[in-house]
A and B are shown apart, each in its own frame.
Chain A
């Protein structure tokens, strides 16, 4: 049983399109995150949600909108995709919002052409 699963694993799309990445965790954790890893492997937090409420919203363009229908799911919707959005997006979860032990999904590689 995969603890943190995200789909799709690979996504290739054209500039200007809208796409979504889904994430689910079956660990019973309260907090979920989206991280972006660029081509140089630099990893930066985008959002975190605790019990469906937004806790962290780093400087991310408005084109990125997270949605948490329940505490086990955190989806990421991206509007009007740009070349610079190409990256690997990682979903993660932790037991609560103060915890530093994050459980990561396998990543979703987004390529914008």
Chain B
């Protein structure tokens, strides 16, 4: 496909794990990113993964990369209400041109 695809919504209960999925377009993308956007704010880089890695863990965040299927996922362990935000995956097309997915709105219920 031409676009970076993500599901639009995810709702979880506080304390559960959240898994946000993304399918990207270009198998030659060197880096893949997860950005977080809180209401009324700009995007903030959460984490990234280099294309020769399968997994990256950073505290409560785990990124999994399946290059064959061009599939990227972000797992948030022990999800908190403060994690409620929109999460964007992005691939780097070079020259700083990031192609973003449409974002997944994560709602965390107490």
Query: Which residues of chain A have a CB within 8 Å of any CB of chain B?
Result: 4, 31, 33, 40-45, 48, 50, 55-56, 90, 92, 94, 96-107
Contacts and interface: CB of A to CB of B under 8 A. Distances in A.
A101 B88 contact: no
A11 B48 CA distance: 33
B67 interface: no
B96 A33 contact: yes
B45 A101 contact: yes
B110 interface: no
Nearest to B91: A100
Q: Which 3 A-B residue pairs are closest in the complex by CB-CB distance?
A: A104-B42, A100-B92, A43-B100
Contact of A90 (B42, B45, B48, B94): B42
Given A41-B103, A43-B100, A100 B40 contact: no
Contact of A43 (B33, B41, B88, B96): B88
B52 interface: no
A98 B88 CA distance: 19
A41 B41 contact: no
6 contacts: A42-B103, A92-B42, A98-B95, A99-B96, A100-B98, A104-B44
B98 A40 contact: no
B87 to A, nearest CB: 11
A99 B45 CA distance: 12
A102 B43 contact: yes
Interface in B32-77: 33, 35, 37, 40-45, 48
